[in-house]
């Protein structure tokens, strides 16, 4: 069986490799010629995807990449994994899905299965994507071609998270569409969870991500409340998590990051308005989580103040630019908000991140593009007035950090197991 996967990013690339490993022939399609060239030459551009596995699948003929969407006519199924960001007004931007639909529609053959994986609001597959595919192909969904939605569940940076073993929710436009999609995913993934419609599958993904966003907001709020009471929220969570039922730990931080949790719930908020519904939990969680960088900057100011220093004119070295530990993904990272807020207050900022040696150009923080990570040594860490831990990569030696840096603000409890001097570490 030959399939195409459109969008070879954090989601599409590991999925392509999993299907290829399972014996399918996979054509990866992307609009970025640099990615296509890298893959066809057996190179990886994602830290946790090994170049050797790409190279062996390319050599074996199971996987190849292209920018030529006319080749959609060669395949029995198309899986779409393109970005779904928010626009400037924090409204869903499904233009990548629509553009992909337009690009593949003219080449769609009768009987082909099209599956959307991008996280989005209920109705995207059977309204928006359906319309573009039908208009561009002259074919009818459910009669001439099959249509389904199956949300991606990636856990980047978690070595135990393997595409094949994460259960896959699938919803079809018709029962026959569902059957086709279940059969396709069943070839590469162990557990398939069929649901009654594309909309249920879309809504399930939004529930999963909203659940995280809301619970992170809860612990972020408790962090601030407990800190005012002189109670360490980290110790509280460690105690609470010993409860063997009815509790699941979430951890506070400097704010939300990544391509999913800060964004996806607002897809639902936007769609809910069409039905006259409000998503109050989502709005409140968003408010609390987006206020976190401000709180952290206040703590930096307090820490500096304890040394008779002001933020203005101080050197601040931020550790961890990626939005979560052990990944190179800096999309939506609150570290950028921290750098911006501190700079606005007159601090001289720099950063250290072994996985982001240089800041790449992007839509959101182009003003930092080209800035390089400082190197890891005593001299670099002795100098700044304060070191701010925004992300706790496991490869960082926190004991060295404690030995080298005079003042540390820790948003991740990274210094908890390390020997430090009284007043040296400020939790935030
Ligand atoms: N990254 C995650 O952990 C994760 C987890 C679950 C769900 N998702 C969802 O999966 C979707 C993709 O996310 P991602 O992290 O893989 O994004 P990404 O930015 O890493 O990758 C998207 C890829 O699509 C390509 N692309 C953009 N427009 C295209 C077009 N018109 N045609 C073909 N290719 C195009 C880009 O060049 C890029 O390679 C999003 O909806 C996201 O919310 C992501």
Average pLDDT over residues 371-400: 98
Residue of 4, 5, 6, 9 to test ligand 1 pocket, by largest number of atoms within 8 Å of CB: 9
Model pLDDT, residue 161: 64
Average pLDDT over residues 197-206: 98
Model pLDDT, residue 190: 95
CB of residue 82 inside a 6 A radius of ligand 1: yes
108 alpha carbon to ligand 1 midpoint, in Å? Answer: 21
Model pLDDT, residue 363: 78
Distance CA 393, CA 400 (A): 14
Residue of 5, 6, 7, 121 to test ligand 1 pocket, by largest number of atoms within 8 Å of CB: 7
Average pLDDT over residues 167-173: 98
Whether the per-residue pLDDT at 267 is higher than 90: the answer is yes
Q: Are strands 146-149 and 168-172 parallel, antiparallel or unpaired?
A: antiparallel
Average pLDDT over residues 262-278: 95
- Terminal alpha carbon distance of the chain: 52
Distance CA 35, CA 389 (A): 32
Q: Write the pLDDT tens digit of every residue in 302-331.
A: 999 999 999 999 999 999 999 999 999 999
CB of residue 209 inside a 6 A radius of ligand 1: no
Q: Write the pLDDT tens digit of every residue in 11-70.
A: 999 999 999 999 999 999 999 999 999 999 999 999 889 999 999 999 999 999 999 999
Mean pLDDT of the chain: 96
- SS3 for 25-80 is EEEEECCCHHHHHHHHCCCCCCCCCCHHHHHHHHHCCCEEEECCHHHHHHCCEEEE
Model pLDDT, residue 88: 84
Average pLDDT over residues 366-370: 95
Catalytic residues: 260
CB of residue 154 inside a 6 A radius of ligand 1: yes
Stretch among 154-168, 224-238, 262-276, 362-376 having the lowest mean pLDDT: 154-168
- Report the predicted TM-score, pTM, of the whole model to 2 decimal places: 0.93
Whether the per-residue pLDDT at 150 is higher than 90: the answer is yes
Model pLDDT, residue 426: 98
Please give the backbone phi and psi of residue 64, each rounded to the nearest 5 degrees, phi first: -145, 160
Q: Which residues pair with 389 in a beta bridge?
A: 319, 410
User: Contact at 8 Å (CB) between 287 and 262?
Assistant: no
CB of residue 169 inside a 6 A radius of ligand 1: no
Model pLDDT, residue 160: 65
How many Å separate Cα 270 from the centre of its chain? 20
Q: Write the pLDDT tens digit of every residue in 112-145.
A: 999 999 999 999 999 999 999 999 999 999 999 9
């Amino acid at each position: 069986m030959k399939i195409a996967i459109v969008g070879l990013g954090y989601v599409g690339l590991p999925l392509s490799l999993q299907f290829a490993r399972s014996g399918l022939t996979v054509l990866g399609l992307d609009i970025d010629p640099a990615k296509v060239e890298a893959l066809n030459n057996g190179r990886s551009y994602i830290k946790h995807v090994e170049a050797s596995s790409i190279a062996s699948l390319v050599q074996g003929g199971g996987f190849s990449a292209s920018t030529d969407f006319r080749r959609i006519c060669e395949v029995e199924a198309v899986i779409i994994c393109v970005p779904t960001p928010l626009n400037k007004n924090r409204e869903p931007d499904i233009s990548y899905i629509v553009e992909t639909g337009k690009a593949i529609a003219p080449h769609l053959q009768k009987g082909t299965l099209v599956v959307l994986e991008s996280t989005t609001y209920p109705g995207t597959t059977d309204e928006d994507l359906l319309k573009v595919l039908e208009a561009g192909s002259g074919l009818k969904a459910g009669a001439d071609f099959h249509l389904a939605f199956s949300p991606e569940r990636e856990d980047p940076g978690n070595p135990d998270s393997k595409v094949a073993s994460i259960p896959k929710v699938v919803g079809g436009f018709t029962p026959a569409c569902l059957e086709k999609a279940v059969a396709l995913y069943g070839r590469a993934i162990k557990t398939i969870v069929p649901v009654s419609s594309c909309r249920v599958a879309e809504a399930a993904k939004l529930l999963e991500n909203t659940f995280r966003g809301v619970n992170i907001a809860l612990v972020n709020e408790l962090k601030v409340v407990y800190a005012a009471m002189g109670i360490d929220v980290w110790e509280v969570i460690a105690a609470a998590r010993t409860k063997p039922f009815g509790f699941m730990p979430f951890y506070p931080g400097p704010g939300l990051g990544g391509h999913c949790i800060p964004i996806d719930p607002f897809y639902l908020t936007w769609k809910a308005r069409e039905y006259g519904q409000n998503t109050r939990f989502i709005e409140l969680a968003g408010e609390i989580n987006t206020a976190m960088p401000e709180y952290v900057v206040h703590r930096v100011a307090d820490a500096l103040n304890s040394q008779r220093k002001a933020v203005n004119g101080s050197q601040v070295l931020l550790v961890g630019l990626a939005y979560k530990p052990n990944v190179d993904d800096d999309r939506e990272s609150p570290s950028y908000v921290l750098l911006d807020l501190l700079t606005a207050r007159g601090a001289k900022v720099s950063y250290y991140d072994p996985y982001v040696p240089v800041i790449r150009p992007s839509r959101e923080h182009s003003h930092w593009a080209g800035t390089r990570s400082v190197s890891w040594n005593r001299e670099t860490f002795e100098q700044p007035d304060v070191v701010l831990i925004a992300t706790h990569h496991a490869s960082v030696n926190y004991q060295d950090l404690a030995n080298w840096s005079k003042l540390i603000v820790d948003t991740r409890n990274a210094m908890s197991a390390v020997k430090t001097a009284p007043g040296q570490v400020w939790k935030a």
